[in-house]
């Protein structure tokens, strides 16, 4: 099993170095680099314990005991700032690390006032001074890990709606990889719960080292998270995102856009879409379309939501589908995919999924029905 820890330690520290040397590092890159360093130190510490080094060097005992409490907050902050255009952490973000700070303060006496022999006895369980503390840390770890995974997943869900209200394309801004990493992290914490509760609270003994199960899962998760995290490009480099939420339908009067102005701008929007066909631009954004209408992006979002009952992505792709049907039904010289690209789509998979969502069948099936 040494190979698990060797690989995990090497991967985490190697990815830490890669992230440090990454050009134009974003805040998520820095958070991920810290996370990889924490993981590398934690795995090294557990490996030394497993190899018997804590017996030889008792001063190493407990040094990384609170480290698992860092994983939930780091997951949350990495997710949060992968979705926000910020360069620095906010002061309130540091509050997430209070449990770790409290844990180290509680262990201060152990680190600096216990003798070598007392530390050995604590580690072997013959002195129970920190038994309650260990239970509290384990419970806090499970609550923290699962809670932060759930909160991080909700951030992804909310951000998906934000993307649909800002972009007419999602090929290069897909964050499914981050969603899968969050699921994986949550699964690891669930596994910890399933293994640790029977063992530590009900005295059930396993015939194997159960810790190796979730450490092995952890190494796999580190590999995936580091790989995708290093490849991840900052979403905000080339895009202006309107992060303000669209008002609820009953709150439009509070948005600052008068009803008459909204009606006028809606008519102008429909005329623009019909006459100038801005949807033919594959990377049309809410900001770009609002600029053509001489209106704020927030007001344009409101108009589309209020009068069309759609988000920006669905609204634009509705016109692209109409354009495709018109082109494909009247011109057989080009393939369906060529017509799709000419209609504003820049991905076959996106075109097919959008078409099926709007028409309930594949493009080829729909065109075949038209020609019968």
Q: What is the pLDDT of residues 127-175, one digit of tens each?
A: 989 989 988 998 999 999 999 999 999 998 888 888 888 888 766 666 7
Stretch among 34-43, 172-181, 244-253, 331-340 having the lowest mean pLDDT = 244-253
Residue-wise pLDDT tens digits, 307-341? 999 999 999 999 999 999 999 998 888 999 999 99
C-alpha of 321 from chain center:
30
By residue count, the chain amounts to 372
Higher pLDDT, 166 or 355: 355
Residue-wise pLDDT tens digits, 52-102? 888 889 999 999 999 999 999 999 999 999 888 788 999 999 999 999 999
Residue 243 confidence (pLDDT) above 70: no
Residue-wise pLDDT tens digits, 262-289? 999 999 999 999 999 999 999 899 999 9
Q: Buried (b) or exposed (e) across 313-333, using 16+ Cβ within 10 A?
A: bbbbbbbbbebbbebbeeeee
Phi, psi of 361 (to 5 degrees): -155, 175
Residue 202 confidence (pLDDT) above 90: no
131: nearest Cα among 68, 200, 63, 199: 200
pLDDT of residue 196: 86
């Amino acid at each position: 099993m040494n190979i698990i820890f060797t690989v995990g330690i090497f991967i985490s520290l190697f990815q830490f170095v890669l992230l440090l040397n990454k050009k134009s590092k974003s805040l998520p890159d820095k958070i991920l680099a810290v996370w990889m360093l924490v993981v590398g130190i934690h795995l090294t510490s557990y490996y030394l314990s497993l190899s018997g080094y804590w017996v030889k060097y008792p001063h190493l005992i407990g040094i990384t005991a609170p480290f698992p409490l860092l994983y939930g907050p780091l997951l949350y902050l990495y997710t949060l700032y992968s979705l926000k255009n910020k360069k620095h952490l906010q002061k309130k973000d540091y509050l997430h690390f209070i449990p770790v700070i409290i844990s180290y303060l509680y262990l201060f006496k152990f680190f600096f006032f216990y003798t070598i022999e007392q530390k050995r006895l604590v580690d072997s369980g013959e002195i129970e001074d920190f038994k309650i503390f260990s239970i509290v840390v384990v419970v806090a770890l499970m609550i923290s890990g699962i809670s932060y995974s759930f909160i991080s997943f909700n951030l992804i869900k909310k951000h998906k709606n934000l993307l649909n209200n800002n972009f007419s394309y999602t090929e290069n801004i897909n964050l499914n990889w981050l969603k899968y990493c969050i699921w994986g992290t949550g699964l690891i914490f669930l596994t910890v719960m399933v293994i640790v509760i029977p063992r530590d609270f009900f005295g059930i003994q396993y015939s194997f080292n159960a810790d190796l199960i979730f450490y092995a899962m952890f190494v796999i998760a580190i590999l995936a998270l580091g790989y995708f995290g290093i490849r991840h490009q900052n979403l905000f480099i080339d895009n202006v995102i309107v992060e303000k939420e669209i008002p609820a339908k009953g709150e439009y009067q509070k948005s600052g856009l008068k009803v008459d102005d909204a009606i006028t701008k809606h008519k102008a929007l429909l005329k623009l879409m019909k006459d100038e066909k801005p949807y033919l631009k594959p990377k049309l954004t809410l900001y770009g379309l609002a600029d053509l209408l001489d209106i704020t992006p927030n007001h344009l979002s409101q108009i589309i939501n209020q009068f069309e009952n759609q988000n920006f992505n669905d609204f634009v792709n509705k016109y692209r589908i109409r354009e495709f049907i018109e082109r494909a039904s009247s011109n057989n010289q080009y393939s369906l995919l060529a017509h799709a690209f000419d209609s504003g789509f820049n991905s076959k998979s996106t075109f097919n999924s959008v078409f099926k969502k709007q028409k309930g069948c594949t493009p080829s099936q729909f065109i075949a029905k038209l020609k019968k």
